[in-house]
Structure 1
C-alpha cells in the first residue's frame, strides 16, 4: 500500500506560486469585454455630446431663426395680400379699413425686422419696409384727393338732380300757360301772337330736354373709368351745353321764365369743362392714374420685399437643414461606431466562448465528467485529458490520483474479501489434499500388493481431486484480477453460484441457512461483465451474512427471477434492518454501520456503480426489524 501511495504522490505536479490559469484568462476576457463596453460608452457619450451640441445650437440659433422666418414670411404674405386691394378701394371708408389693416401689418413687419436688426441679412430688409411706408403715405395723399373729388362730384350730381327736378316742376306750369295762350290767340285770329307763343314753347321744352341730357351726361361722366369714355362723354356734354346756352338766351325776354333760366344756368355751370364737374373728373382721373402708379410701385416694393424675405427664409432653412444634417451625421457616426464595437465585442466574445470556453474548457470538462462517471462506474480505462497549467489540469491530476486510489481501494476490498475467504479456501483445499494423501498411501499399498487395477482407480480419484482444486484456484484468481469494461451476455445464475462457492465456508462456519431459488432452466443471461457481476453478488451476499451475525435466526435468501427481458436478483437477510435515516445513504462511499476495522463501506457503493454501468438498477426493496431485501434489476441481451 505504501508503494501505491508513493506512486500516487509522484504523479502530482508541483504547484507554482502564480500561473495564468482559468481565472486569470476569464478575468482577462472579462476585462476585454468590459473594455469594449467602456469604449462603447465613451463613443456613445462623445456622439451624444456632439449631438447635444448640435441640438443646443438648433434650439438656441436655428429654432428662433426658423420661427423668425415663419413670422417674417407670414408678415410679407399678409402685406402682399392687402396690397392688391388697397388701390382698388371704391370708398373712403373701404380705403380706411384696408389702409388700417395694411398699416398694422406693415408695423408688425417693421417691429419684427427691428427685433432682428442685429443680423445683416435682416437689416437689409428695413430700407424696403421704409420705402413701402413712404410709398404708402403717397398713396394716402393721392387716395385722399381722389376720394375728395369723387365725393364733391357725387354731391354735385345730387344737387343737379334736385335742380333737374325743380326745373321740371317750374317748366310744367309755363308749358300749360303757353298752350292756353296759343289757343286764345288762335281763337282771336292773331296768328303772329300764336306763332310767338309757339316759339317760346319750343325754346322752353328744348331747355328742359337739354338740361335733362346734360344732367345724364354729367352722371355718365362721373362714373367714367377710362380716358376714352371720359373724352367721349365730354364731347357730347359740350354739344348739349352749347345748345342749352343758346336756348336759355332765347328765353331772356320772357319774364315768367326767369326761374327756369336760373335753374338751367346752374346745370350749365356744372357742365363747364373748365370750372364744372368735367374739370373735377379730369383731376380725379389724374389722381387715379397717380394712385395706380403708386400702387404699381407699392406692388414692386412688396414683391422685392417678398423676394428678400424668401431669400432670407431659404437661407435660414438651409442653415437649419445643415444643422439637422450635422446632427444626423453625429447620430450616424455614433451608430456606426457602436455597431462596429458591438460586432467586434460579439466576435471577441464568440471567439472566447467557442475557441476557449467551448473547445477547451467545456471539452475538457466533458472529458473530465466522462472520466469521473467512468471512475464512479468502475471503468478503469476511461480517458482523462492530459493536465495543463490551470485549474482543470489540477482536476485532471486529482482524477488520475482518485482513479488510482479507487482502483487500489476496490482491489483492496476484493483482496480483503479474499482474505476473509482464506479460511474457507484453506478448508476447501485441505480436504482434497487430505484425500490425496490417503489415496496416494492406498495406491502405494495396492501397487505393492500387485493390485494395479485398484491402484488405477485411486489415481482416477486423485485426478478428480486435483481438477477440483485447480478449478477452485482458477475461480479465486479470476475474481481477484481486474475486470474488463466490455459488456457481453453473462449467466446471472452462474455468477450467483460462483459467488456462493466463494462464501460457502462462511455459511458452514457461521451456521447460516441458505435459501437459494434459481430458475429451472438454469441459465439467465444479462448484459454485464462476469467478474464485476460476481463481485456484486459477493458484496450483497457478504453484507447479508454480516447482517445476520449474532442473530437467533440466521438465514440468507438468494433468488434469481426473469420477467419481460429483465432479470432480478433478490438478496434477503434476517438481520436488524436499516435505520430509516440511513436508507438514503447506504450506497454512498465509505458509509458503514459495522464496527471499526470490519469494513471500508465501499461494497454497496461499488455494487451501485457497477449495476448502473450495466444499465441496471439496485435498490433497497424493503427493510425492517425482520430483515432487509436488496433488489438488483439487469437488462437481458437484445
Structure 2
C-alpha cells in the first residue's frame, strides 16, 4: 500500500475549462473538414440537381419513350389478331400519354417539340386504323376462302353425277347402235350426250382450275403476281361461261350453273371477290409500311430536338461549374472566419459563463454546506438554475431539512419521555391546566405577591418580560382572528421559574385546538437545559454525516464516469466488430462478385463491338437493340454494386419493420457464384398466403446475420456428399396461443454437424473450428449480439450427422 499512487484530482474549474477548450478544438476540426467537403462538392450540385438533372432526366425519358414507340410501331403493323393489336395499341397509348406529359413538362425548354409529338400521335392513330382495316380485310378473305371450299365441295357433288349420267346415256346409245338397229334418234342422242359429256368434263377441269387460281390469289405477295393470276383466272372464267352455255338447255345442269355462277362471283366480283380483297389488303399493307417510314422520320426529328436540348444543358452546366468555383473560394474564407469566431466564442464562454456563473454558484453552495456542517441549519441554500448544480443544491436542502427533522424528533422524544411540560389556556392566556413538569418550569412567584388579574394564573405572568410580551401579543392576535391561510402558533425561547425561585430556560410552544366547540391553546414547555447538550451532540453528528456524504458522493461520481467510459468503449468496440465482420464477409465474397461483374462486362464488350460494326453497315435498328442490351447489363451491374455498398455501410441504430423476403434474397445474391461453383442446392420456404412477413429489426444488420449463417452453412456442406441448404420462415405465437407474436427463421445445412463438446462455445468471441487463417471466430458472436439488440434469440435448434439447424426468433412487426 505504501507504493500506491493516487490519481491527480482536477478541480471542476480545470475540468470545465479543458472541456470548453476541447469543444473549441473540435469546432476548428469540424470547420476544416467542412472546408474540405465543400471544396470537393461545391455549389454546382445544387444548381445541377435543381435545373440540369431534371432537364437531362426529361430528355432521357423522351428518348426512351421515342425509342420504345419506334420499336413497338412495327410490331403493331405486323399484328395478326385484334387482341394482339389492342394490347400493343394500349402499350403505345401509355407511351404516348407519357410522351405528352413529358412534353408538357419540357415544352418551354425545347421549341418545336409539341408539333413533333402531335404528328407522332396522328401517325400512330392512322397506323392503328390501317392495321384494323388490314385485319378486317384478312377476315373477309378468310371467309371468302371458306366459302370457296364449300362451293368447291358443292361443285364436285354436282358435276360427278352429271358425268356418270352422260356416260350411262352414251353407253345406252352405243348399245342401241351396236345391236344392228340404228335409228336417227339413237344417233342424235349419242351425239347430244357426247357433246354434253365433253362440256361437263370441260366445266369440271376449268372449275377445279378456277378454284385453285382463286385460292392462290388469296396468298399472293405482290400486285404483279396478282395481275398475272387474274389473267389466267379471267380466261378460265370465260371458258366456264362458254361451257355453261352449251348446257343451257339441259335441266340437269341448272344446279351446276348456279354453283359455277357463285364461283365466278368469287373470281370476278368488284368488291367481294378474293382477288379484289387480296389487292386491297396488299395496298393496306403498303400504306402501313409508308406510315412506319413516316413514324421513323418523326422519331428521328424528336431525337434531334432532344440532342439539341442536351447540348444546351451541357453548356449551362459548364457555366454553372464556373460560378460554383467562385462560390467555393468564398466558402473557404467564410469557413475559416467561422472557425476563428467559434474559438473566440468558446474562450468567452469559458471565462464569462464558467468562471463567473458556475464557479460562483459552486462557491456559494460550498459555503452553505460548510455552514450546515458547522451546525447552522438555517443557512441559506442557493436554489436557482436547472442543471446539475441545482440538483446538488436540492440534495443539500433535503439534507438540511432532514437534520432539522432529526432535531425536532429528538425534542419530541424528550417530550414523550416526560421531559416537557404541558399546559392548557383559554383564548386570553389564562392557565386552565398544567402538568407537574410544566408547573416545575413555570412556578408562581415565591415572594407571595399576587399575580396580575386578581390571582388568575396567566401564562405571561410565569415568564420573563420579553417572553410575556410576545405571549400577550400572540393571544391578542389570535383573539382578533388569524391571517388568511395561516394558523396561529407561537414558539419562543423564554425564561421560566423553578419552584425554588431559580430561573430555567424554557422552550414555549403555543398552538390552538378545539374542545367542546371552544378554542383552547395547548402550551408545550420544554426544559432546555438538556437540549443544549443534545444540540452539541447533533452538531457533531451532522458534521460526521456531512463528511461521509461528501466522500460517498465523490466515489459515486468517479464510479459513474468510469462506467460511462467503459460502456462507450464497449459500444464502439461492438460497432467496430460488426463492421469488421461485414467487411470480412465482403472479402470472402469478392471473387464471386468479381465473376458476377466480369460476365456482364464481357457481354457489354461484345455488344459494343457488334454495335459499332452494325452502325458502320448502316443497320442502326440492330445497333439500337445492342445498345438496349448494354443498358440492361449496366443496370444489372449497378444493382450488384449498390447491394454491396448498402451491405458495407454502417447500419442505423434505429429499429423498424423490415420485410423478410427481400433480405433473404439479398443475402443469397451475395453467394450466387459460390452456390453455382460448389453445386449447393438452396431452398427458400416462405408463407404463400397473407401479408409478407415483417420483423422488428434493422435491414443491414439483419442481412449481415443471414450472410454469416449462410457462409457457415456453405463451409459446413463443402465436404458433404449431399450439399443442401434450407431457409424456412414462418410466424409463431400470437393471441390464440397466449405467446408473443414472433417470426421463426431456420437455416439448415446438410453438413456433418457440430461436436457436442463444442456446442456451448460456438457463440463465444474468437472461437472457430475452421483451419487457421480461414476465420476470425467473430461471425456467430456478432450475429448473436445483433439479434439480442433486436430483442430476439439466435440458437442452435439441432445438430448431428444429418446437418445443423440455426433458429433465429424475432419479434413480428
State whether TM-score is above 0.5: no
Structure with greater proportional strand content: 2
User: TM-score, normalised on structure 1?
Assistant: 0.42
Structure with the higher helix share, 1 or 2: 1
Higher relative CO (Cα under 8 Å, sequence separation at least 6) belongs to 1
Normalization by structure 2: what TM-score? 0.34
